[in-house]
A = this chain, B = another copy of it.
Amino acid sequence: MSLAGLRVMGIDPGLTRCGLSVVQAGRGRSVLPVAVGIVRTPATAELPERLKRLSAGVNQWMDDYRPDVVAVERVFERGNVSTVIHTAHASGVLVLAAAERGIPVHMYTPSEVKKAISGNGRADKKQMTTMITRILGLTEPPKPADAADALALAVCHCWRAPLLARTAALLNSEGATS
C-alpha cells in the first residue's frame, strides 16, 4: 500500500505557542516538507479569547493546506498541572477543528514520536532536530526551532500509517472470517 501524496498536518498543542506543520508522504520512507510555523495567543488575554484565536489559526492552516490526516501530540502528565490543563484546553479545540472537517486524527505520545524518528524514545531536542533536518532534506534546522516537534509528529505519522493500515486490514479480515 502506498501513501505517496498523503498530506499530514502535525500539531504540537499549546496555548501560548502551538506548533503546526504540513508534510507530504513520498515514495517509500521519503517525506517532503510543505510548511511549518507557530500559532501564538497572548498570555495576557482571557482563556475564551485565546481559544478563539487558536481555533481560528488552526482552521486557517487547514483551509490553506487541506491535510488528509492530522497527527497531534497526546497530552499527558508532565511538569506542572496548570500547564497540562492549559495544553489540554488547547488540544481539545485543535482536535475539534479536525473532527468538524471530518479529517481523521491520530494521537502520539512524545516518546512514540521520538522512537519513530530517532529510534530512541528518550532522544533530546538536539538529536530530534538533527534527524528531522536530515529526513526532510532541509539545508538548515527548521525555524522556528520549537516547531520541529510539529514536523516530527507529521513524519512519525507518515511512517506509522502503513503499519496502522496493515493492522486495521488484518483485524478486518479476521473479523470477516471468524
Contact = CB atoms under 8 A, between A and B. Distances in A.
A154 to B, nearest CB: 17
Interface in A110-163: none
Interface size class of A (residues with CB under 8 A): 20 to 34
Interface in A40-73: 46-49, 51-52, 55
Contacts of A92: 51, 88-93, 96
Contacts of A90: 92
A87 to B, nearest CB: 8
B91 A55 contact: no
Interface string A67-88: 0000000011100010011001
Contacts of A81: 76-77, 81, 84
20 contacts: A47-B107, A48-B98, A48-B104, A48-B105, A51-B99, A55-B100, A75-B85, A75-B88, A75-B89, A76-B81, A76-B85, A84-B85, A88-B88, A89-B91, A89-B92, A89-B95, A90-B92, A93-B93, A93-B96, A96-B96
